Amino acid sequence: MCGIVGYIGGKDATPIILNGLRKLEYRGYDSAGIAVLNNETKIEVRRDAGKLDNLVNLVAREPVTGSIGIGHTRWATHGEPNARNAHPHVGTTGRVVIVHNGIVENYQELHEELAAEGVTFNSDTDTETIVHLIERYISKTGSLEESVQKTLQQIRGAHGLVVLSADEPDKIIAARIGNAGGVVIGYGEDEMFVASDIPAILDQTHRMSFLESRQMAIVSRKGVIVKTFDGKPITPVIQTINWDPIAAEKGEFRHFMQKEIHEQVRSLTDTLAGRVDFEKGIIQLPQLNLTSETARKISKIIITACGTAAHAGMVGKILIERIARIPVEVDIASEFRYRDPIIQPGTVVLAISQSGETADTLAAMEEGRLKGATTWSIVNAIGSQAMRVADGYISMQVGPEIGVASTKAFTAPMVDLYMLAILLADLRGTLPVDQRKKLVNDLRLVPDLAGRCLERELEVAELASELKDSKNALYLGRGINMPIAYEGALKLKEISYIHAEGYPAGEMKHGPIALIDKDMPVIALAPKDPWYEKMASQIEQAKARGGKVIAVATEEDKKIEQLADFCLWIPPVPWMLSPILTVIPLQILAYHIAAIRGLDVDQPRNLAKSVTVE
């Protein structure tokens, strides 16, 4: 969704902002713009539709310079994605300019009110109402800070906002209401940064703090003053973000997605680091604050998430139920809050989110909290809302994920859920020591085994060339690998635009089997797990109907090799950990099909990396 970058300091703001916007491209956008305060007197704006390169070229033709500025990548909600609707938006006086994330829910009403006062609108956006409101209050109070405050109290919805005034050239004001994405403040030497997301400013500074809802920051080159909307001073907590800025670069890879797929050996190693004591065979997840007493009180866990993260949750359900014998439900976050869910005493609502800013997931957590549940999160983005509002969290430790299609942030939470299951069972006293040690020890080889799947990239790429012109694909799985069928299909459709369906294999005979013919590739997950025999017979059924079967199977499995037309191999692995491996060839397959089709793998059409609107 929309991205924001702001700069105030002694350097030229333009390259810093454009560079920051480049780092935010992954969020998904359809236009971009920049506003710079020229000589601290005049606001200069450049905006264009389409890719950031269009804006960069525009700025090269019509340069803007100054040491204070703001920039934005827009993901259209109100008004077409054209240059006119791109941010920044300047008010009627030309003295105030804003960039904004979120939706002004009472926009119609405010628009009518302002139009009746004689305000002329220059765009079709809801955002423009905000700048006119700020100007209206400035004409009465003379103060930018007070005017922003008053405006924020008038607009409904969730927002991230950054404002600049030519009449107060010593500051940028940033504010946050609710969950329309984060607002990050970056601390430099005699310079400060503002952004919607950490990677935008990571090559400028590692020292950052985060705004909470209903807080605003008055940022000058010397530092920041943070307040609540009612004027209560807040001392910001400055964190050192240890993400490597290089991790946010493509390096030798063609796309971020390919790089992130390959990073999984590393990200899985980091996922285990500090959590698993292989000598003692124990798991430690200190940020959950779990004790034997609290673990024993848990009567149910509701995992809530969206998209890929929800698929990780489905694997987690099987792991937690098997290992810890606690009932688990998996609820799609966008559905959870609207059906008045029943939350009984002892319920934990566990959210999974890479960005930690997904509006639906945050709302589901809030619903759980309001109904008395303990809330936990498994989250990647440090300092994100899902991390901060939870009673306890597990940090994914996979570093920045830039490709819109989630890969390393899918395998890591499955490991987190496996570790959580062991920890819960141990604390509840239901896991015999030898079993615990075995389960913990099984984790030891996971990163290396993932590496062995990655070594087979060329074999998978070969299959991708064969499947590149398919119109449809059916992914089948059972048991713990059923969510991997969903995930494989999601990966293919979102980046290659090929229609794909994931289905529980046992359900095939109740309908989808009618789809099978020679033109329908069937990707069947058939590793050596407890559902193996069932999957083998499912493959036979598909073959009997003329289907072309591609099986994800365990190396040396002669039976599946004979049954299927093509095999994607994974090394032998204990079944509970098998989804971490079976998904890897499917990630690679989707990647190569999309790359061969010449598509924008990292920024597929219509998609955004963090979905901060409903």
The catalytic residue positions are 2, 609
Dist CA 426 CA 255 (whole Å): 41
Shorter beta-carbon distance to ligand F6R: residue 354 or 397? 354
Residue with tokens 């090559």: 203
Q: Does 611 bind ligand F6R (CB under 6 A)?
A: yes
What are the residues whose beta carbons fall under 8 Å from the beta carbon of 243, sequence distance 6 or more? 198, 199, 202, 206, 382, 399, 400
Q: Does 358 bind ligand F6R (CB under 6 A)?
A: yes
CA 288 to chain centre: 21
Shorter beta-carbon distance to ligand F6R: residue 224 or 464? 464
Dist CA 14 CA 63 (whole Å): 9
Please count the other Cβ atoms lying within 10 Å of the Cβ belonging to residue 215: 19
Shorter beta-carbon distance to ligand F6R: residue 396 or 453? 396
Shortest distance in whole angstroms from residue 609 CB to ligand F6R: 7
Q: Which region among 175-183, 303-311, 497-505, 586-594 touches ligand F6R (by CB under 6 A)? A: 303-311
Shorter beta-carbon distance to ligand F6R: residue 26 or 193? 26
Shortest distance in whole angstroms from residue 576 CB to ligand F6R: 22
Shortest distance in whole angstroms from residue 15 CB to ligand F6R: 29
146 and 124 Cβ atoms separated by less than 8 Å: no
Shortest distance in whole angstroms from residue 28 CB to ligand F6R: 10
Shortest distance in whole angstroms from residue 491 CB to ligand F6R: 6
Q: Does 405 bind ligand F6R (CB under 6 A)?
A: yes
Give me the 469-508 binding string for ligand F6R, x by CB under 6 A, dash otherwise. Answer: ---------------------x---x--------------
Query: 510-514 — which CB contacts under 8 Å span 24+ positions?
Result: 512/474, 513/541, 513/542, 513/545
Shortest distance in whole angstroms from residue 378 CB to ligand F6R: 9
Shorter beta-carbon distance to ligand F6R: residue 222 or 499? 499
Exactly one of 14, 406, 554, 578 binds ligand F6R (CB under 6 A); which one?
A: 406
425 and 324 Cβ atoms separated by less than 8 Å: yes
Shorter beta-carbon distance to ligand F6R: residue 125 or 179? 179
Q: What angle do CA 148, 156, 359 make, to 5 degrees?
A: 110
Shortest distance in whole angstroms from residue 571 CB to ligand F6R: 25
Residue with tokens 């289905």: 503
247 and 239 Cβ atoms separated by less than 8 Å: no
608 and 75 Cβ atoms separated by less than 8 Å: yes
By rule CB under 6 A, what count of residues binds ligand F6R? 15
Q: Which region among 2-10, 120-128, 353-361, 432-440 touches ligand F6R (by CB under 6 A)? A: 353-361
What tokens does 571 get? 């090394």
Exactly one of 204, 355, 375, 582 binds ligand F6R (CB under 6 A); which one?
A: 355
DSSP element (H, E) containing 115? helix 107-116
* DSSP class of 120: P
Q: Does 353 bind ligand F6R (CB under 6 A)?
A: yes
Please count the other Cβ atoms lying within 10 Å of the Cβ belonging to residue 134: 26
Exactly one of 55, 306, 535, 593 binds ligand F6R (CB under 6 A); which one?
A: 306
State the greatest distance between any 2 C-alpha atoms of the chain, in Å, as a whole number: 80
Q: Does 361 bind ligand F6R (CB under 6 A)?
A: yes
Residue with tokens 């004591």: 277
Shorter beta-carbon distance to ligand F6R: residue 90 or 490? 490
| Residue in 25, 19, 22, 18 with CA at minimum distance from that of residue 604 | 25
What tokens does 386 get? 């899902």
Exactly one of 354, 374, 411, 554 binds ligand F6R (CB under 6 A); which one?
A: 354
Shorter beta-carbon distance to ligand F6R: residue 348 or 362? 362
Q: Does 309 bind ligand F6R (CB under 6 A)?
A: yes
Shortest distance in whole angstroms from residue 382 CB to ligand F6R: 13
Give me the 531-550 binding string for ligand F6R, x by CB under 6 A, dash otherwise. Answer: --------------------
Shorter beta-carbon distance to ligand F6R: residue 164 or 580? 580
Shortest distance in whole angstroms from residue 483 CB to ligand F6R: 12
> At 553, which amino acid appears?
A
Shorter beta-carbon distance to ligand F6R: residue 477 or 488? 488
Phi-psi region of 422 (alpha: psi -120 to 50; beta: other; left: phi over 0): alpha
Shorter beta-carbon distance to ligand F6R: residue 73 or 354? 354
Q: Does 612 bind ligand F6R (CB under 6 A)?
A: no
Show the beta-strand stretches assigned E in 505-558.
Answer: 521-526, 548-554
198 and 383 Cβ atoms separated by less than 8 Å: yes
| Residue in 75, 137, 68 with CA at minimum distance from that of residue 100 | 75
Q: Which region among 157-165, 352-360, 416-424, 557-565 touches ligand F6R (by CB under 6 A)? A: 352-360
Q: Which region among 101-109, 206-214, 284-292, 351-359 touches ligand F6R (by CB under 6 A)? A: 351-359
Q: Does 610 bind ligand F6R (CB under 6 A)?
A: yes
Exactly one of 6, 66, 281, 307 binds ligand F6R (CB under 6 A); which one?
A: 307
3-state secondary structure 254-299: CCHHHHHHHCHHHHHHHHHCCCEECCCCEECCHHHCCCHHHHHHCC
Dist CA 114 CA 92 (whole Å): 12
Q: Does 147 bind ligand F6R (CB under 6 A)?
A: no
Shortest distance in whole angstroms from residue 362 CB to ligand F6R: 9
169 and 40 Cβ atoms separated by less than 8 Å: yes
Dist CA 474 CA 521 (whole Å): 6
DSSP element (H, E) containing 219? strand 215-220
Shortest distance in whole angstroms from residue 354 CB to ligand F6R: 3
Residue with tokens 């200069």: 44
Binding site for ligand F6R (CB under 6 A): 306-309, 353-355, 358, 361, 405-406, 490, 494, 610-611
